[in-house]
Amino acid sequence: MAKYIVRRILLLFPVLFGVSLATFMVMHLFTTDPAEIILGQHATTERVAALREELGLNKPIYVQYADYLSDAVRGDFGKSVITKTSISDELMKRFPATLELALAAIFIASVAGITAGVISAVKQNSIFDYGSMVAALMGVSMPIFWLGLMMIIVFSVTLGWLPSSGRISIGMTPEHLTGLYLLDSLITGDMEAFSDALKHLILPAVALGSYSTAIIARMTRATMLETIRQDYIRTARAKGLSEKVVIIKHALRNALIPIVTVIGLQMGSLLGGAVLTETVFSWPGIGSYVVEGIMASDYPRVQGAVLLIGTIFVLVNLVVDILYSVLDPRIQHS
Amino acid sequence: MTALLEIKNLQTHFHIGKRVIKAVDGVTLSVQPGETLAIVGESGCGKSVTAMSIMRLLPSPPAKHSGQVLFEGRDILNMSMEDVQNIRGKEISMIFQEPMTSLNPAYKIGDQIAETVRVHDRDGGKVSKKAAWDRAVEMLEKVGIPGAAQRARQYPHQMSGGMRQRVMIAMALACNPKLLLADEPTTALDVTIQAQILDLIRELAQEFNTALVLITHDLGVVAEMAQKMAVMYAGRVVEQGAVTDVFARPHHPYTAGLLDSIPRLDGMKKQRLHTIEGMVPDLAHLPQGCTFADRCEYRQALCGQKKPELGTVDGGRQVACYYPLNLTGGDQP
């Protein structure tokens, strides 16, 4: 098992090398010259050339890449060409926001998706089954930014129940421990901050999790339908177990492997793919940071953020693979 | 002596769309405490459905039961699901045909046996996890699994089919049930293992004083294991009686046909094996008269008009036929 994990972690390096090369090339070949953007349209050619030299943009591209890579492996993603601040610091500051949002979204999606999927499978062809599968179809088809805007209109603007943007109200930020506001406010016992952070989190988390909820619900229904027809489910009933125990302990446990795979993949893409949600809800995470970077042609920012997201995605997948052997004793990693 | 299990005119029909499949259509039989009853018949005659109906294991809908299944005088078909769950695994247990897939792949076999023990400990006392586990190991020893304590920590995929069926037997008997339903318990196993498993079931049923309903299509198994037998055809019991009597003097033409189809090693000449001509009727379109009439050599006009009911002949033997064979005198049904 340990050997397997080490091998998988070693495999991380070629993957990340590819990711870094691809983003570096795309940012350098297809975006506008950052020097021109920084200096504005009235800049003289000399000033642009001077800035290009300062930023190292005049060097051959492979030298630039080598410089970038040697810094990146040390955890230094360089400085933002716009704000001149350290990108690594900025990512570290913003990552907890993205993580908190993604965790909340995947939590909502898993609970709602698995519950809906199990009930749909147990009561196949019932009203609930049809209703939840239609809802799931809508969840898969609805664009996240549209859903987010609609939720803001209904719950923030019209009903005024929940705030529409940001992570927390001004002046409420809890003491920084983990960077996850819910957790920090719980640890410090600041219940006011907790409820404020929770209110801010609900809308973006539901919007972000809607697609995953739908995917998880459909996957759960399909695998549960297969599992409840197995012989060992009949054995479980013949033992005198209640229907609840039969479904949850015996059927769901065996259906979990494909469900966990989907949750893991969704978690990976939620961490990296919260770009739209973070923008719609002005969530100060990595997604909105990337969007701002793209708008400003701030290439080091985009490179750094994409590399971080890539690393997280691969790590989440590794965790899922390790979970398999915990869930199914027949799978052994060696 | 009051019967442990008494089934009266059990019908299990499957309603699928507009079709009604009459898988079990009038089964009447009884089992005394500690006795072994074999239910014999060919594939699709309703043996397994009868056993599953006794435990109410068939999903309903589509299955619909009528008639009575009296267990110690109480009708299982009319019980609440909770009462049925209290009986399952504790009073009545079942072993299935498919040992390879009947155990949950995600749990250790010891845990699966212990679960049965713990779920039925409802009258206070609370069997501890440890006690239930010890009982599981004890049962694994009883069913002849070497190194039971280690084996209990293994998962089903680490065991062979024969071993898994032993585990199923251990699980079924863990709560000392009064009745064990064994649905073709050896069909999926190697011939050499079959005899071992049957011996094991017989020994343990004796030791625990458990009545046994053995479902099989193997008449050799019947002769060896059972005191009483019921022959089923197209969802109905056509003949019932003591095994020795039925083998010696089958009354129903179908039973006689079955017994004639057993290959014998002592036959002097090379003979073609006897076969019963024709096919089992479609369970969705059963004939109005005797279900066996179309294939019967002895059929007469009455057979095609009305179904014969199971009636007593020859002092204790039961047969559903208007013209029973091999009577020694005594009353006609």
pLDDT at A232: 92
* Mean of pLDDT values over A27-52: 76
Q: Highest mean pLDDT range out of A184-193, B147-156, B187-196?
A: B147-156
CB contact under 8 A, A245 and B86: no
pLDDT at B295: 85
Residue B139 CA to residue B1 CA, distance in Å, equals 30
Burial of A125 (C-beta count, 10 Å sphere; 0-12/13-18/19+): exposed
- The torsion defined by the Cα of A222, A228, A229 and A232, in degrees rounded to 10, comes to 140
B172: nearest CA in chain A? Answer: A239
What letters, b where the CB count within 10 A reaches 16 and e where it falls short, cover A186-211?
beeebeebbebbbebbbbbbbbbbbb
CB contact under 8 A, B104 and A232: yes
* Mean of pLDDT values over A3-21: 83
Question: Is A133 in the B-facing interface, judged by CB distances under 8 Å?
Answer: no
Condensed to tens digits (0 to 9), the pLDDT of residues A129-159 reads 899 899 888 888 888 888 888 988 899 888 8
Burial of B85 (C-beta count, 10 Å sphere; 0-12/13-18/19+): buried
pLDDT of residue B130 exceeding 60: yes
* Its pTM surpasses 0.90: no
Which pairs from A42-48 meet CB under 8 Å and 24+ separation?
none
What three-state secondary structure class fits B7?
strand
**Residue A334: which pLDDT band, with cuts at 50, 70 and 90?**
low
Nearest by CB: A242 against B85, B96, B103: B85
Distance from CA of A3 to the nearest CA of B (A): 23
Condensed to tens digits (0 to 9), the pLDDT of residues B50-93 reads 999 999 988 877 888 888 899 888 898 888 888 889 889 888 99
Nearest by CB: A254 against B87, B104, B116: B104
CB B207 within 8 A of CB B176: no
What three-state secondary structure class fits A51?
helix
Q: What are the tokens at B303?
A: 């057979």
* Mean of pLDDT values over A314-326: 81
Nearest by CB: B85 against A231, A240, A329: A240
Residue A195 CA to residue A68 CA, distance in Å, equals 42
Cis peptide before A163 (omega within 30 of 0): no
Count CB-CB contacts under 10 A for residue B113: 28
Burial of A34 (C-beta count, 10 Å sphere; 0-12/13-18/19+): buried
- The torsion defined by the Cα of A3, A9, A15 and A21, in degrees rounded to 10, comes to -140
Residue of B256, B237, B269, B266 lying closest to B326 (CA atoms): B256
**Residue A227: which pLDDT band, with cuts at 50, 70 and 90?**
very high
Burial of A246 (C-beta count, 10 Å sphere; 0-12/13-18/19+): buried
Residue A108 CA to residue A90 CA, distance in Å, equals 28
Distance from CA of B89 to the nearest CA of A (A): 4
Residue B132 CA to residue B61 CA, distance in Å, equals 35
pLDDT of residue A317 exceeding 70: yes
- Terminal-residue alpha carbon distance, chain A: 6
Residue A86 CA to residue B309 CA, distance in Å, equals 93
Distance from CA of B106 to the nearest CA of A (A): 6
CB contact under 8 A, B88 and A236: no
pLDDT at B124: 54
Strand residues in chain A grouped as ranges (E): none
Q: Compute and round to an integer the Cα radius of gyration of chain A.
A: 24
CB contact under 8 A, B105 and A254: yes
CB A190 within 8 A of CB A86: no
Mean predicted lDDT score pLDDT of chain B: 85
Amino acid residing at A162: L
